[in-house]
Amino acid sequence: MKKIVHLSAFIFVLVFLACNSTQSKHELSKEDYFSKIDSIEKKIRQMQIIDNATGTNAIAAYTNYAQQFPNDSITPDYLFKAGEIASSVRQGQRAIDIYNSIYEKYPSYKKVHYCLFLQAFIYETQLNNIEKARVLYNKVIEKYPNESIAHDAKACIQNLGKSDEELIKEFEARNKKSS
């Protein structure tokens, strides 16, 4: 009887491994990915706030596409969307990792300067790492001095570490001076 149980367990493991290896070899086509992404994007457009499960599914769909088709022209756009969603569902470190991968792998991407800025912003606002945020904001200013994002980075540096109350007081004081 023990031999039958052991043999059954061994066969089950072999079948399980065979199914998994076949499944991993079968990759989705671009059309399958596009269909899946389109479906998720439609769902997101109907939501006022993206829930964590939908956000995680969207991030996975975009990043899986990027892994499968890293040289496709739409890949950095999909990764950027994944970063935005990760940030919006408060997966700050994941968003930073995604934006950093765009920054490193797609240096000519039209939004690469935003990828660097958004990393700084997430370090500041979600991860409360003011020093890392400062370093990245300064990098934005240094690398993209002629972009409007450099002006935004300077403003962020001036306000780093200030509470909402401090910012409101400064804003009110500036308004009084200009009146």
Domain borders along the chain are 28-178
Residue with tokens 């998720």: 40
Single out the residue of 48, 116, 60, 47 nearest to residue 86, CA to CA.
Answer: 60
The pLDDT-based confidence of 132 (bands split at 50, 70, 90) is very high
The CATH superfamily holding the domain 28-178 is Tetratricopeptide repeat domain (1.25.40.10)
Angstrom distance (rounded) from CA 136 to CA 139: 5
Residue 166: what pLDDT?
80
Residue with tokens 């950095």: 76
Residue 122: what pLDDT?
98
Global confidence as pTM: 0.79
Q: pLDDT, tens digit, for every residue of 26-74? A: 478 999 999 999 999 999 999 899 999 999 999 999 999 999 999 999 9
What are the distances in angstroms from CA 27 to CA 18, 23, 52, 67?
Answer: 16, 8, 26, 11
R_g over Cα of the chain: 23
Residue 168: what pLDDT?
85
What is the percent of the chain where pLDDT is above 70?
85
